[in-house]
A and B are shown apart, each in its own frame.
Chain A
Amino acid sequence: MSKPTDLVQGTLDLLILKTIALEPMHGWAIARRIRQVSKEVLQVNQGALYPALHRLEQQGWIEAEWGESENNRRAKYYSLTKSGKKYLQSEQANWERLSAAIGLVLKRA
């Protein structure tokens, strides 16, 4: 069984956390939002999305609650926990530092 690399996995986690930071969202909406915001560049595979959501829940960064969806169906809404918010901040800062650094290297080299 091949494992996604840490970068990819960490990136997906970051995208999910950032996406639900504004408001609680269900899985499908998260995938769609990421696709839309990235202008169709980032396609989140469901096979990766749900394990990631459950892992984040297991780790305590996010919590889930059943609610009414926009088309009046029961859907599972994910939202950030308190520690999840902190984690997002630090991860985002990390990411920005990392991408800036990579950018620098790519430009100079």
Chain B
Amino acid sequence: MRWWRSVAHRVYSFFHKDAVERELDQEMCFHVEREIAENMAAGMSPEEARRAALLEFGGVERFKEDVRVARGVNRIESLLADVRYGFRALRKRPGFTVISVLTLTLGIGANTAIFSMVNALLLHPYNFRDLDRLVRVWEDRGIDEGFDARYMAAADAEDLRTNSQVFEKFATYRMQSFSMGTGSEMQPVLGGKVSAEFFDVLGVSPASGRVFTATEGQTGLDQVAIVSYGFWQGRFGGDPAMLGKTISLNGRVSTVVGIMPKDFDYPVPVELWVPLALSPEEKRDRTQLTESALARLKPEVSVAAARAAMAGLSHRMEQDYPKTNSGRIATVLQLRNELYMFTLPLFLLLQIAAGFVLLLACANLANLVFARMIGRQREIALRAALGASRGRLGQLFLSETVLFSFVAGVVAVAASFASVRALRTSIPAGWTKWVPGWDGIRVDGNVLAFTVLIALGVGVILGLATMFHASQVEPNKALKETGAGTVAPGKRRVRSALVVAQVIFALVLLVCAGLTIQGFVRLASIYQGFEPASVLRIEISLPEKTYADSVKVANFYQELLRGSSSLAGVQHIGLVTNPPASNVDNDTTYFKIEGQPALKTSEMPSADLQIASPDFFETLKIPLVAGRIFLDADNADAARVAVISRGMASRFWPKGDALGHRIRLGAQDSTETWLTIVGVVGDVRQNWWNPASRPVIYRPFAQSPQRSMNVLARTVSDPMGFVAAVRDVARREDPGIALRGVNTLEEEIADSIAIVRIMGILMGVFGAVALALSSIGVYGVLSESVAQRTHEIGIRLALGATPGDLRKMILGQALTLTGIGLAIALPISWAISRAMASLIFGVVSVDFAILAGFSALLLVVALGAGYLPARRAIGVGPMISLRYE
């Protein structure tokens, strides 16, 4: 509490200055009076006594000042004076103020905008209680980037749940789409099948109604549903009597028992949730990887401890179920990390780039401030000569720079409200559907604190730099010099170093921007191996209830294809389970090659599995490499066949003899029928994060009909013009059928890489800002240094130097500084491109054209920045130059 009293005391003294002064006077008077009385008592005359007392007391004013210092009043007072002075100084030089505040605003604003994204998307993706304790439970099987580790078998999940001591709660779920309603009213809805603990694990409760009970997780008792707020509002108009209503899902009637709060959309925005009711045989299954698992750790359990526990359990399960579980290692991953596993590096990169913009702005600003300091050398010297201590001068400069970075901070915060809104609204919804949490981007307390912190930090750093600069002023010398301040070589070196630093930052930023934009352009064209132009994509999900029989499913699609292909303008039409750029991974499957030795399940090769109709390949123009594609004759009654991708063929049959070999899908003990490889087709990039040539097995739709398929149609004109016609054909077959995800394939591709596109745009903006800031910086320093050498230039001209010589000299200086900067920046940029290449999944690679191009650009900018001051200096003429002071 003592410090508080001390501050209170100081503040009291400050605000009651008059009273304090009066008391001080009284105290002194009293002392002197007592002294006089004492002296008189000792026998002095009144005059003598008074004289002796005052003599003894000493200089009254002098030590009153000491008392004031002791009370700490001065410090507040001088600080206020400094701030006032700072304001006056900023007002007096509006040009300097506007430029430096703008520069800083750009730097701080860039950081605020990016941080608001990071804050919303990475730090607070979910509002769940104790988010750090929420984990996804994965099962790593050590194949293909561990991507399908996200799913596990039901029996494995149950074992982990019952046998581990690290979880407080554990839940499993599956995403599933349903057909809601009956007859012609039937609509597809996206839902989740969740175990009873699902909502408890996340710590959310319904806005009204209840969550599922454990008994509702049994087959036959599971006809209940919880709906999302959006579903309730959108489909039932916010009906107040929603609870207890029944809805028909896949032909079964379910009672609505709860409505979730508005913002609940885990794991993706779904419309409703139903209990995950597994049959006894599903519960025993260890081969189908169907469940996603989610858990809340016990409070005292760390993620590392949970991982260790999972590994231990996995080893036991490996021994207990060697056939299925060998090589499976369960692990946990924090919920907050899962979402942005792939985009985190991109955001980090953006934040780093924003940091570079700030550094660049600071370097620029430091230059401006130093240039101003040179003009103030005499003032500083005068202050120092009049007795200002170094600390006192420091306080002056610190309060000045903190003041204007504070002004810049305020402007930046105001600007960030606007820029964050622009960021959110200017990016179309189609792009952001793959960016969960996008709508949560806003300027909140965290973002404000971040901005204020940066502004203060910049102010302090600049202030310290200025103080250092000022402390090197020698009053004696500075006061003696008559002309405009000259610059000591040491100081010129500091400013040259700043130019070099600017060149470095600028090149690094430009290279990053160039690579990201190039990466985006490449991403857009990365979906190679097929032609996306003029292709329509439609998703169809047949209801389980009415299409239980696979023959019925096959018939529906056969009729749909037959009806649609006869439409005028439709060139080709085909079916596939997962079209490219869907941002959904293909199903993967183990397979066995006939004639090769039996392997443990974990060592078996795996491949993506696609189901496709014969015309699919022609629709996307996927080239046939060898053999044949599917024929209509490859129907349910014919011999089972498969077509494989070129990547798969060269990996498993390097001699090029894949045709005619037989493979069997599924684990080691699979009883599937053997498939004969009849054709090899070109590789297709499935999603932007996948490597180009994942092995893919295609099976004919007729031999393996699926209820959910994607219809792809190649049309002669705008694909969207054919939607109505295709819908009519489908409705003729089944009036209740609903079409989903209707879009052109080109649009889908653009949307699927939205995050990289957004990044490309932002990086482009940063690059432009970097270029502008650095050219201003180089120009500023050169013109300043030329102005200071006007006298010298005059002498040189008078002594016979030609304008050409002088131009060469000044431009030489510009090129030298830029050259040094480039020499340092090139290796850094190269290293950063290498790092980026590994971050952005091979989209970006070291590109010498970009490095060379931007280096050349910076050199040109430096030449331009040097040319103007050079021309001015030479144009002045020796007489004026010599008189210039």
Contact = CB atoms under 8 A, between A and B. Distances in A.
A75 B27 CA distance: 7
A73 B56 contact: no
Interface string B56-68: 1111001100110
B37 interface: yes
Interface stretch (B1-9, B739-747, B848-856): B1-9
A5 interface: no
A47 B57 CA distance: 7
B392 to A, nearest CB: 12
Given A50-B27, A74-B30, A60 B5 contact: yes
B67 A51 contact: yes
A82 to B, nearest CB: 10
Contacts of B2: 59-60, 83
Contact of B71 (A46, A54, A74, A83): A54
A2 interface: no
A26 B71 contact: no
B869 to A, nearest CB: 46
B69 interface: yes
B30 A51 contact: no
Q: Give chain B's interface secondary structure class.
A: helix
Contact of B67 (A45, A54, A69): A54
A69 to B, nearest CB: 7
Q: What is the size category of the interface that chain A forms with chain B?
A: 20 to 34
A47 B66 contact: yes
Contacts, number: 68
A28 B70 contact: no
A27 B27 contact: yes
B63 A51 contact: yes
B23 interface: yes
Nearest to B66: A51
Contacts of B9: 57-58, 60
Contacts of A33: none
B33 interface: yes
A73 B71 contact: no
Nearest to B23: A76
A38 interface: no
A26 B63 contact: no
A51 B26 contact: no
Interface in B25-50: 26-28, 30-31, 33-35, 37
Contacts of B72: 58
The winner among B2, B6, B23 for most chain A CB atoms within 10 A is: B2
Given A45-B58, A59-B6, A83-B2, A52 B70 contact: yes
Nearest to A75: B30
A76 B27 CA distance: 7
B685 interface: no
B10 interface: yes
A97 interface: no
B74 to A, nearest CB: 12
Interface of B: 2, 5-6, 9-10, 13, 23, 26-28, 30-31, 33-35, 37, 56-59, 62-63, 66-67, 69-72
21 contacts: A27-B30, A28-B30, A28-B34, A46-B56, A46-B63, A47-B58, A51-B66, A54-B67, A57-B71, A58-B9, A58-B10, A58-B70, A58-B72, A59-B6, A60-B5, A60-B6, A60-B9, A69-B30, A71-B37, A76-B26, A76-B30
Interface of A: 26-28, 45-47, 50-52, 54-55, 57-60, 66, 69, 71, 73-76, 83
